[in-house]
Amino acid sequence: MTNTCLTFRDLTLGYGSHPAIHHLDGTIRKGSLTAVVGANGSGKSTLMKGIVGVLKPMAGEVIRAPGVRAAYLPQQSELDRSFPARVVDLVSLGLWPRRGLLGRHTREDRDSVSQALMAVGLGGFEKRPIDTLSGGQLQRTLFARVLLQDADLILLDEPFNAVDAKTVGDLIALIKHWHGEERTIMVVVHDLDLVRQNFPETLLLARQPIAWGETRETLKPENLLRARRFHEAWEENAPWCEPDEHTHDHDHHGHAHDHDHEHHHGAGPRAA
């Protein structure tokens, strides 16, 4: 399919032998804007890490359409704020996909750094040391870096944490602007009202996808209830998941995009 950006094929991601994402199948359309919601421990961040490739799948695979470049804003950044760097140094890291290890940063590159900072409302912050930024300013700085990466696929993991209402508004506007540019965006969000207002599609996770598709449909009360009932803790002596049984089980559902309302989910790809 040419308009597919990401394909999950029987994807299982996790830590140790315990899955955090369990047998996920489905596709992310090019140019779609998807919110990823779910309780703590439901596998949202894990899914992001799996897509960007910093976590290797335990089973199955994530297939990126050829040529798709991803930008990733992690929830728990490993950013060292005490490192002696200025805002411009941090944002310039976003030039890596374009310039790599040795490419010179040109005059235009420096201009695009300034423009990116301007776009997140931090014009003139270039020379500020990063240890003098507030939490919200740092978050916007990281958005500027994502902006500079000029990626086709943008993954944001709880980008609105500890950010004030006005900044959330600014960042949402930026996300919508990206959406308008036909970029594919996935955002982990906790605020369901925010999701209902701004995100056309939603993936509701509870280790397995509870529902996936149009936001209004996905966030129906019964789905939310099912998502809440999910058991967060690992069980040390949980039975081993037998792959054969599972594939067999899934085959009966047929493939994506058939509006299969029998199965408690919206218009999205299959969800078990």
Partner 1 sequence: MDTLYGLFIAPFADFGFMQRALIGSLMLSLGACPVGVFLMLRRMSLSGDAMAHAILPGAAAGFLFYGLEILPMTIGGLIAGVIVALGAGAVSRFTIQREDASMAAFYLISLAIGVLMVSIRGSSVDLMHVLFGTVLALNDEALTLIGGIVAVTLVSLAIFWRALVAECLDPLFLRSVSRLGSPVHFIFLGLVVLNLVGGFQALGTLLSVGLMMLPAAAARFWTVRVEPMCVLAVLIGFASCIAGLLMSYHASLPSGPAIILSAGVVYFASILFGTRGILRARIIHHRHRTA
Q: Could you tell me the smallest distance in angstroms from the CB atom of residue 269 to partner 1?
A: 25
129 contributes a contact to partner 1 by CB under 8 A: yes
97 contributes a contact to partner 1 by CB under 8 A: yes
Which listed range, 31-39, 64-72, 198-206, 221-229, lies at the site for partner 1 (CB under 8 A)? Answer: 64-72
Gap between the Cα atoms of 5 and 69, Å rounded: 10
Which listed range, 70-78, 162-170, 240-248, 256-264, lies at the site for partner 1 (CB under 8 A)? Answer: 70-78
67 contributes a contact to partner 1 by CB under 8 A: no
Q: Which of residues 197-256 bind partner 1 (CB under 8 A)?
A: none
86 contributes a contact to partner 1 by CB under 8 A: yes
Compute how many residues bind partner 1; rule: CB under 8 A. Answer: 26
Q: Could you tell me the smallest distance in angstroms from the CB atom of residue 103 to partner 1?
A: 9
Q: Could you tell me the smallest distance in angstroms from the CB atom of residue 238 to partner 1?
A: 22
Query: In this structure, are strands 201-206 and 33-38 parallel, antiparallel, or unpaired?
Result: parallel
Q: Could you tell me the smallest distance in angstroms from the CB atom of residue 91 to partner 1?
A: 11
Which listed range, 30-38, 100-108, 162-170, 263-271, lies at the site for partner 1 (CB under 8 A)? Answer: 100-108
80 contributes a contact to partner 1 by CB under 8 A: yes
Which listed range, 31-39, 67-75, 165-173, 256-264, lies at the site for partner 1 (CB under 8 A)? Answer: 67-75
Gap between the Cα atoms of 196 and 119, Å rounded: 25
How many CB atoms within 10 Å of residue 16?
A: 8
Binding mask 108-127 for partner 1 (x = CB under 8 A): --------------------
Q: Which of 3, 53, 106, 169 binds partner 1 (CB under 8 A)?
A: 53
63 contributes a contact to partner 1 by CB under 8 A: no
93 contributes a contact to partner 1 by CB under 8 A: yes
Which listed range, 77-85, 205-213, 232-240, 249-257, lies at the site for partner 1 (CB under 8 A)? Answer: 77-85
How far is residue 248 from each of residues 93, 112, 251, 254, 262, measured CA to CA in Å? Answer: 46, 51, 5, 11, 19
Question: Which positions lie near partner 1, rule CB under 8 A?
Answer: 52-54, 70-72, 74, 77-80, 83-86, 89-90, 93, 96-97, 100-102, 129, 145, 149
